Amino acid sequence: FPRGCVIIASCIATLLMKGKGVARKLFFIFILPIVFVLRFLFPSRLRTVRLQHEVVGLKRKVKIVHISDIHYDHPHHPQRITSDLLQQVIDISNRYEPDLVLLTGDYVQHDPEPADELCRLFLSQLRGRSGVYAVLGNHDYRLPHAHDMIISSLTKYGIKVLDNACVEPLGDGLLRLVGFGDINMHGFKPDIVHDVIKDTSIPQIILSHNPDTAQKLTRYRVDLQLSGHTHGGQVVLPFIGPVLPYLDKLVSLIPRSILRHIPGARRLSVVKNWKWLGGYHSITSVIPTSSSSSSSSSSSSSSPLSSPSHKGKGMDDGMFINHMFVNRGLATHPPLRLFCDPEIALIELVPASH
């Protein structure tokens, strides 16, 4: 019962914040003071996640930095990330001396214009022995010209954008890097690179902003998919977990005839698979071969990031275990992050020991 009360209270607070008129006034009068107290008592701090991941067929160790969800904006807009935090991320990344720096979208909040400043002041400092690669997120498509403008800014400062494209940055046959556009903005088009990525003989890393795409990629070999988008749920309650799935469930129980009269109340569209809000996941898949027909499974299991290593991909009659890491991202949407710190991931791919 106490757990249910906490969940419902959190959901009501979120609905009030997203509402208009009276609902928004109630939020500022009653909820906002509580938010300030929580931010003071439990400030969010940058978290460095270290993950070692075994890959079958990998010939040498590969060091990767994964960064996601920056949401850089005009200075006169509410700021979701500070310059100090961004510089801290850059410094951690460069000290790690990675082979690859991989960015998984949402560089801006709405307008694409701040992307050039973000790249000039910060992202241009990133160093990877074999390059810095990026894909776009849903916020990078919000205006008609945003997609092209953001790609132009990233490219201008030496960041290679993979828009439904693939490369082998370490040399032929060592590791394939595949990047997709955002699925919510109709940018996810695996058929464009299907003839290349259906080859299972080369270790394959996927960059895709939204983790839901893992379900669409079960017919391919995915040694590790890197995603963001979810901010880890942003508000995570002890012994309960992220609030967002409960909020979505609560709203789904309200009849539509009533829902339309509640300001700000609507089904959430963050992800379809709430189990993939953050962390490391394994997804069973079946790869079509000459002796097996095409089919797939959406089963998923999570592994703790504190584990020293995770089993790489194994293959048996077309059976693979695909893997995914979902980054909590860096930015904070108002009003706060709670028990869900922003993070940068330092990943070490190592040849499988079996």
Instruction: Write out the two tokens for 253.
Output: 């129980």
Burial of 81 (0-12, 13-18, 19+ CB in 10 A): buried
Dihedral sign for Cα 243, 331, 218, 63, please. Answer: negative
Residue 335 banded pLDDT, cuts 50, 70, 90: confident
For residue 217, the one-letter residue type is L
Residue 124 has pLDDT above 90, yes or no: yes
pLDDT value at residue 310: 37
Closest CA to 207 of 186, 190, 230: 190
**What percent of the chain has pLDDT above 90?**
61
Residues 280 and 53: their CA atoms lie apart, in Å, by 10
List, for residues 147-175, the tens digit of each pLDDT value: 999 999 999 999 999 999 999 999 988 99
pLDDT attached to residue 46: 96
Nearest Cα residue to 88 out of 133, 46, 39: 46
Distance of alpha carbon 298 from alpha carbon 303, whole angstroms? 16
Cα gap 245→273, rounded to integer Å: 10
340: confidence class by pLDDT, cuts 50, 70, 90: very high
Q: Which residue has the higher pLDDT, 96 or 313?
A: 96
Contacts with 298 (C-beta within 8 Å, 6 or more apart), sequence order: 215, 218, 283
pLDDT confidence of residue 326:
98
Alpha carbon 56 to chain centroid distance?
24
What pLDDT is recorded for position 239?
84
How far, in Å, CA of 125 to CA of 133, rounded?
A: 13
Predicted confidence band of residue 19 (pLDDT cuts 50, 70, 90) = low
Terminal Cα distance for the chain, rounded: 48
Helix (H) or strand (E) holding 207: strand 204-207
DSSP letters spanning 125-178: G---TT-EEEE--GGGGSSTTHHHHHHHHHHHTTPEE-SSEEE-TTSTTT-EEE
pLDDT grade, residue 111 (50/70/90)?
very high
By percentage, how much of the chain surpasses pLDDT 70?
76
Say whether pLDDT at 144 is over 80: yes
Q: Which residues are registered as beta bridge partners of 296? A: 285
For 51, 208, 278, 351, the CA distances from 309, given in Å and listed in that order, are 7, 23, 18, 11
Name the CA dihedral angle for 253, 7, 226, 310, rounded to a multiple of 10 degrees.
-120
Q: What is the pLDDT of residue 21?
A: 54
One-letter identity of residue 291: S
Give dist(CA 230, CA 203) in Å, integer. Answer: 26
The confidence score (pLDDT) of residue 291 equals 41
Task: Collect all residues with Cβ–Cβ distance below 8 Å to 76 and sequence separation of at least 6.
Answer: none
Helix, strand or coil, per DSSP, at residue 84: helix
Residue that wins the pLDDT comparison between 86 and 26 = 86
Who wins on pLDDT, 236 or 38? 236
Q: How far apart are CA 121 and CA 125, in angstroms?
A: 8
Mean pLDDT on 183-187:
95
Average model confidence (pLDDT) across the chain: 84
pLDDT higher than 70, residue 301? no
Structure tokens that stand for 144 in this block: 């008609």
Query: H or E stretch including 101?
Result: strand 100-104
CA distance 330 to 85: 8
Distance of CA 15 to the CA centre of its chain: 24
The enclosing H or E element of 83 equals helix 83-96
Closest by Cα among 231, 268, 225 to 246:
268
Two tokens at 333?
Answer: 């949407």
C-alpha dihedral over 331, 334, 338, 344, to 10 degrees?
Answer: 0
The tens digit of pLDDT for each residue in 62-95 reads 999 999 999 999 998 888 999 999 999 999 999 9
141/180 Cα distance (integer angstroms)? 13
pTM of the model as a whole: 0.84
Spatial distance between the Cα atoms of 188 and 179, rounded to a whole number of angstroms: 9
pLDDT digits (tens, 9 = 90+) for 252-269: 777 777 766 665 555 566
